[in-house]
Amino acid sequence: MRSHNHPIILFIDRSGFSIFQDTQPNIPRFNFTPDLVANLDVINKEQFSNLIATFIQINKIVPSSLGIILSDNIVYFKDLISLQKQTSPNQPLSNPAPDIQNFLEDVPFEEILAKVIKTDQLNRIVAVNKDLVMTIADVFVNKGSTIDAVIPSFLYGPAVNFTLGLTQDNIRIILAGSEILKIGNLLTDQEKASSPQSLESEKKNPQSGGEKKPQNLRQYILVGVFVTLLVILAVVYLNLGASQTLPVKKIKSSSLETVSAPSIAPTAIPALTSAPVVTSIPVDLKNIKVKITHASNLQDIASNLKDQLVKAGFADITDEISTTSSPEKSSVIFSQNIPSNLRDNLTSEIKKILPSVSILENQDINLTIAIILGKS
């Protein structure tokens, strides 16, 4: 875990989650009920989030770095017999082998966190319902914590027994296992391994949920063919020395503009090309709600930040003094429908005032930006 003062370990299993923090006299437990979570699907997100927030408040969980451990009974995994050659042990899921692709198609969730985990003894593809994990994590983030990692529990091997959930014995091993964070963190390059379809679209089209993944796959294949043709066209013009109508440099520039960077929201099925095409939808800055939360002693920084945002064109900005202690690190939390180009521009402005700020995302689609000022 990071060297924050009071790191949080959150262990999620099929019936609920438990939390360890060294400020607690015991290990608090939150149990799922059928009206909140059924078959690992979140049934009522608003009520679920509100109850978790109350749980955090009642148990006086101090905002800090958050590590999430996933029980074996909530993850889907498959040991890989063959895998296309990788340049690094845990590279993102680009150009997946057919067995990986088939596995991802069979995972019964619209959005997932997934990763190929490769060690000397293990070669395994792992996936978990992103909606369940991130709904829980987002509440902690909104309370000022930062997410370090999401890790499947099997990586700790037989030395750690999670049958009884979190115990003092396995907590000591988890806190010391920094190498496992690097190997098994499902958040690493997650934007290349999860579904571009939002939960909101699933609610609007419940009858078509089972057909979305194959349809998206066909779209990605078409995108891959289109990008490949552009590259071939550029090479042909380069070889022929064409300069009459479309210079080679312009062709290359056009192809780069077409394949824009993927948004921070992850994708459940990896594309068969290097990255899916993402079209940025223009957003009026006046429609975006910005909320700055801070301790009373950080009022000057908050005012300075608010002035910068007003100059940038934002109009709906609220300034709120937090009733809880400040987190160790400042963070910016974008709703998932904030365009990537706007995120980049705003992040550049914020880093002029908060150089070490963490950039996060929640699953809301309400055009909001939450800025939480920390001690650093």
The answer for residues whose C-beta is within 8 angstroms of residue 34's C-beta and 6 or more apart is 43
User: Using one digit for the tens of pLDDT, what is the confidence trace for 224-238?
Assistant: 667 777 777 776 666
Q: Domain 8-194 belongs to what topology?
A: Nucleotidyltransferase; domain 5 (3.30.420)
Mean pLDDT, all residues of the chain: 74
Classify domain 285-372 by CATH architecture: 2-Layer Sandwich (3.30)
Give the range among 11-15, 119-123, 254-258 with minimum mean pLDDT.
Answer: 254-258
Please state whether the predicted TM-score (pTM) of the whole model is above 0.85: no
pLDDT in tens, 311-339: 888 999 999 898 777 777 788 888 878 88
Which among 50-59, 316-325, 330-339, 349-358 has the top mean pLDDT?
A: 50-59
Query: What's the pLDDT tens digit per position in 236-268?
Result: 666 665 444 444 333 333 333 333 333 333 333
Mind listing the pLDDT tens digit for each residue in 167-224?
Answer: 888 888 888 766 777 777 888 544 323 333 333 433 444 433 333 444 445 555 666 6
Alpha-carbon distances of 222 from 33, 150, 266, rounded to whole Å = 42, 32, 20
pLDDT(87) > 80: no
Confidence at residue 177, expressed as pLDDT on a 0 to 100 scale: 67
pLDDT at 48: 94
Q: Rounded to the nearest 10 degrees, what angle do helices 299-312 and 340-351 cross at? A: 140
pLDDT of 19 strictly over 90: yes
- pLDDT of 94-105, one tens digit each? 444 677 888 888
Per domain, the residue ranges of the chain are 8-194, 212-258, 285-372
